[in-house]
Amino acid sequence: MKTLQILLLAFGLYGANAIAADYVIDKKGMHASIQFKISHLGYSWLWGRFNDFDGEFSYDKNSPEKSRVSVAIRTASVDSNHAERDKHLRDDRFLHVEKYPESRFVSTAYEPAGDGTAVLKGNFTLRGVTRPIEIKVKFIGEGKDPWGGYRAGFEGKTRIALADYGIVKNLGPASKELDLFLAVEGVRKDK
Amino acid sequence: MKPSFITNTRSSYGLPAIVFHWLVALLFIGLFALGLYMVDLDYYNAWYNRAPWWHKALGIVLTVLLVIRWCWRLLNVVPAPLGLDRHWQYLTVRVVHQLFYILLAVACVSGYFISTAKGSAIDVFDWFELPAIIQLDESWQAWVARIHEWSVYFTAGLMVLHSLAALKHHFINHDKTMIRILIPIKPEESDG
C-alpha cells in the first residue's frame, strides 16, 4: 500500500492539493464534543452534551469552499449530569429518543470569510424535523500528529429555536432558544 | 392488651399487622397519586421540585415500612383465608398477596435507581441523604423508569381487585375477612 502511494505520488496523481482530504471525527480518542447551553430562568446557563455521535468532513485549505461535513448524533446519549433531567430530555416532550433516535447535520455549503472563519450551511434534523441552519465555524489548525496520522480541527456555533423542532414544553421566556457548540478534530482517512 | 391483639393467630390479625397493612396501603395510594400528579407539572409550578422531593422521601419511608412489615409477617402466622373451598382460590389469594410485596419492592428499588442513576443522593426530609450505590447507563435508566411505571400500575390494578374481593367477602359471603383487617377480632376457640 505504501509503495503504491509513493508510486502515485511520484506520478503526481496523488497530490494533497488536488483532492480535498476526507477526515473522520476522532471518536475513539474523543477529540470532539457536541455541547449545548440553554438559559435557566434567565439567571444562568445550563450546559449539556451528547456523548455519542459520529461524523466525517472533507477539507482542503486550498479550496475550503468545497468543504463538506456530516454529523450524526445519537439523541439518547444526551447528558446534563442529572439523571432525572436526562430522563425528561429523552422522553417525548423533548428529544423523543425512542421515535427519533438520531439527529443529523449535513452541510450544503461552506462559505469561507478568508480569515479562518466561515459560515457552514446545511440541514439539521432533530426530532424528525429538518431545517436549514447556519453554523459559524472557525478553523483551528491542521497538521501531522505524533503518531503517524494527519489531523484537522474546527469549532462551530449555532443557535436553534426549540419550537422549530417541535419542542414546545414551556421552560420560560428566556429558554426558548438553545446554543449548540461543536468542537471536532478529524483524522485524515488513508487513501 | 391480650397477646392475641399483638400477634396474629390462625384466624385473626394482630394490631401491628393491621397498622402495617393500612400504612402501606395509604402510602402507596398517596405516592401513586403524587407520582401521577408530579409528572405532568408545569415547569413554573411551585410544586415542580417540591412534589418529587416528597415522593422520594415518602418512597424511602415506604421501603423501610415494607421491610419491617415483611419481617413481622415472617415472625407471625398468616391467618387462613375464609370461605374458600377450592385449591385455585387458595392459590390465587397466596399469589396476589405475595405479588403485592414483590411489586412494591420492585417499585421502591426502581424508584431509587431513577433518582440515583447518575450518582445523586436522595434527600430524605432534609434529615439524611441516601447515597447512590451504582451508576446506570442510559438504557438502564430507561429500563428502571419503565419498570417503576409498570410495577405501580400493576399494583394499583391488584389493589382494585383486592378491595373488590374484600367487599365481596363482606357483603356477599358475610364472613369476617374484611372486619379482621380493620380491627383485631377475638380469635376462634380452636386457635388455642
Q: Give the DSSP H/E element, type plus range, for residue A143.
A: strand A129-144
Strands A78-79 and A150-161: unpaired
Contact assignment for A170 to B42 by CB distance below 8 Å: yes
**What is the distance in angstroms between the Cα of A156 and the nearest Cα belonging to chain B?**
27
Q: Is A11 within a domain?
A: no
Among A4, A49, A53, A48, residue whose Cα is nearest residue A24: A53
For residues B138 and A86, is the Cβ–Cβ distance under 8 A?
Answer: yes
- Coil, strand or helix at A180: strand
3-state secondary structure chain A: CHHHHHHHHHCCCCCCCCCCEEEEECCCCCCEEEEEEEEECCCEEEEEEECCEEEEEEECCCCHHHCEEEEEEEHHHEECCCHHHHHHHHCCCCCCCCCCCEEEEEEEEEEECCCCEEEEEEEEEECCEEEEEEEEEEEEEEEECCCCCEEEEEEEEEEEEHHHHCCCCCCCHHHCEEEEEEEEEEEECCC
From CA A79, how far away is CA A66, in angstroms rounded? 33
The CATH number of whichever domain residue A107 belongs to comes to 2.40.128.110
* Residues in B 108-137 with any Cβ partner in A closer than 8 A: 114-118, 120, 136
φ, ψ for residue A26 (rounded to 5)?
A: -75, 85
Cell of B63: 421501603
From CA A114, how far away is CA B21, in angstroms rounded? 76
pLDDT at A15: 42
From CA B186, how far away is CA B82, in angstroms rounded? 15
pLDDT at A3: 52
pLDDT at B192: 44
Contact assignment for B138 to A82 by CB distance below 8 Å: no
For A123, the domain range is: 17-188
Q: Is A25 within a domain?
A: yes
The average confidence (pLDDT) of chain B is 91
pLDDT at A2: 52
φ, ψ for residue B12 (rounded to 5)?
A: -140, 155
Contact assignment for A169 to B141 by CB distance below 8 Å: no
Residues of chain A short of pLDDT 50, as ranges, are 1, 4, 6-18
* Residues in B 137-166 with any Cβ partner in A closer than 8 A: 138-139, 141-142, 145
What chain B residue is nearest to A173 in terms of C-alpha separation? B44
Kindly indicate whether the ipTM for this predicted assembly is greater than 0.90, answering yes or no: no
Contact assignment for B115 to A83 by CB distance below 8 Å: yes
Question: pLDDT tens digits for B116-160?
Answer: 999 899 999 999 999 999 999 888 999 999 999 999 999 999 999
What is the CA B73 to chain-centroid distance, rounded?
13
Q: How confident is the model at residue B3 (pLDDT cuts 50, 70, 90)?
A: low
Q: Is A9 within a domain?
A: no
From CA A63, how far away is CA A29, in angstroms rounded? 28
| Residue B71 in this model has a pLDDT that exceeds 70 | yes
**Sole residue written with cell 428502571:** B144
Name the domain count of chain A: 1
The predicted model gives B157-177 an average pLDDT of 93
- Coil, strand or helix at B146: helix
| pTM score | 0.81
Cα radius of gyration (chain B) = 19
From CA B36, how far away is CA B121, in angstroms rounded? 23
Contact assignment for A170 to B43 by CB distance below 8 Å: yes
From CA A28, how far away is CA B61, in angstroms rounded? 45
Q: Percentage of residues in chain B with pLDDT exceeding 90?
A: 68
Q: How confident is the model at residue B86 (pLDDT cuts 50, 70, 90)?
A: confident
Among A132, A133, A138, residue whose Cα is nearest residue A118: A138
pLDDT at A147: 92
Among B115, B142, B120, B116, residue whose Cα is nearest residue A76: B142
**What is the distance in angstroms between the Cα of B34 and the nearest Cα belonging to chain A?**
16
**What is the distance in angstroms between the Cα of A82 and the nearest Cα belonging to chain B?**
6
Q: How confident is the model at residue B191 (pLDDT cuts 50, 70, 90)?
A: low
pLDDT at B2: 56
How far CA A6 is from CA of A2, A124, A191, B173, in Å, comes to 6, 40, 12, 95
pLDDT at A17: 43
| Residue B38 in this model has a pLDDT that exceeds 90 | yes
